[in-house]
Amino acid sequence: MLLQTGLIQRLTEQGKHVAIITPDAEDQNLRELKDNPRIQIFAAGISQTIWDDDYGVKRMYFLEDIKSNPVFWEKHLYSILYTDSKHPWKRIRPFVYYPIHRLIKIFPGIRRRFQRNEKKHLVDSRATDLIKKINPRLVVSTYPVNFLEAKFLYAAKKAGIGTLIHLLSWDNITSKGIFPVIPDHFIAWGPIMYEELKEYYQIEESQVQMVGVPHFDHHHKIMENPKTDELLLDLGLDPALPFIVFAMSAPRFVPLEIEIVEWLAKEVNAGNFGKDMQFIVRPHPQNVQGSLSDQSWINRLKNLTSKKVAVDFPKLANSKVRWSMKREDMDRLSSLLVGCSICMSSGSTVSIDALVVGKPIILTCFDADKQVYYWRSARRVADYPHQKKFIGLGGAKVTYSYEELRTAIHIYLQNPDADFQKRETALARECFKNDGRATERAVAAVVDVLGRLGG
């Protein structure tokens, strides 16, 4: 959102100076900004310890009603039943924290005391010193449940500096937990995020501005000058023929998604969706690296390649910044979405990306032909709060079996405009406006907040 939309550069064009605090000052996307005299890049200088991680887990048990939110309950069950962590405390802690969680209903003072003491965990002299050195008018966080960002937000608030949260993703409010630091201002994607902020934080209307989604603006640029033919040739496919895209999710959430992808590849190779149909699989970064990946999937994906099937692996940057992608990767994703006939996913944000470019989205909320315990199953993803709202608006066609998936594909191939109005309604609720100008509005919102702060 920040590095591949031009948002940072546009702020400097408005006469603003921008300091970026990052875990990796040598990230290649950041290096491209160093020649701009109005941009400074600072290494955060704070490493997250196991106790920072533990505190984030502890917050869930002390502050959330974990049984009422399937995201949190699943995390609890996973930590007991499925974790592969070798660290003894990570294995023991759910058995310590959950009984305390249950006691909070009887002794609510436990939660109040935890909230009072939380400030001690947010104080960090390194964050305080760096904020003092930069001396900003406004500190912006994009992932406020990250403890590193929370420490800088807290340091800013203690220093009387303005604070703003501009969230990266649609699930951050309902699925990541209560923010450790509540800022003075928010930038929201659209009405749903706006309503969630008001529900969770009882904020005033004047504190929130809806702008859309800056990183979706790139899709509009690609629509004006598609690079789809070039991409298909690079993948060994025929640019003259139609194709379907499957955007994968992390194995942690959909453990049998690889089998659905393999089934689809087989169906396409057999010509069951038309003799000319092609298939492109787009793995999520978490499919190929990180704690949520499953390395056994890599060779299975590579083995799918044929005259009709290709795998477009994400172009990861060599960086400590999470999910840092090479600039060309966004071009490839946009080109795939702009050119495809149908996009499929088990529930990632790409569902909304597809709607932005007017393409139907099918969700695969099932576990191939297996019966999987609900709290491990892809079925549960459809019940996550952000996803349930999206599905309820008709933004996607949900399938729970191979037969339903086959039927949904044929419906959209025969009538690409099926459910068009519902899809448009869902997009407007999630993203405010789909006009390619969200970055412009985000810059205006930041400038407006700075104006209120006298800067």
Grade residue 29 by pLDDT with cuts at 50, 70 and 90.
confident
Taking residues 37-58, what's their average pLDDT?
88
Please say whether the beta carbons of 213 and 191 come within 8 A: no
Average pLDDT, the chain: 93
- Least confident segment among 3-12, 407-416, 425-434: 3-12
C-alpha to C-alpha distance for 329 and 339, rounded to whole angstroms: 15
Q: Please report which residue ranges of 186-256 form alpha helices under DSSP H.
A: 191-201, 217-224, 228-234
N residues, the chain: 455
Topology, domain 7-46+124-212+438-452: Rossmann fold (3.40.50)
pLDDT at 291: 61
Higher pLDDT, 237 or 24: 237
The yes-or-no answer to whether 7-46+124-212+438-452 and 217-431 have a common fold is: yes
- Least confident segment among 56-70, 254-268, 306-320, 350-364: 306-320
Grade residue 50 by pLDDT with cuts at 50, 70 and 90.
confident
CATH number, span 217-431 = 3.40.50.2000
Taking residues 194-221, what's their average pLDDT?
95
Longest dimension (CA), the chain: 66
pLDDT at 314: 87
For residue 264, the one-letter residue type is: L
What is the per-residue pLDDT across 128-180, written as a single tens digit (0 to 9) for each? 999 999 999 999 999 999 888 999 999 999 999 999 999 989 999 999 999 99
C-alpha to C-alpha distance for 179 and 172, rounded to whole angstroms: 9
Please say whether the beta carbons of 126 and 46 come within 8 A: yes
Q: What are the structural domain ranges in the chain?
A: 7-46+124-212+438-452, 50-120, 217-431
What is the per-residue pLDDT across 83-104, written as a single tens digit (0 to 9) for each? 888 899 999 999 999 999 999 9
Token code pair at residue 306: 């044929």
C-alpha to C-alpha distance for 377 and 355, rounded to whole angstroms: 25
Which residues have a Cβ under 8 Å from the Cβ of 376 and sit 6 or more positions away?
A: 82, 255
What is the per-residue pLDDT across 124-135, written as a single tens digit (0 to 9) for each? 999 999 999 999
Please say whether the beta carbons of 311 and 305 come within 8 A: yes
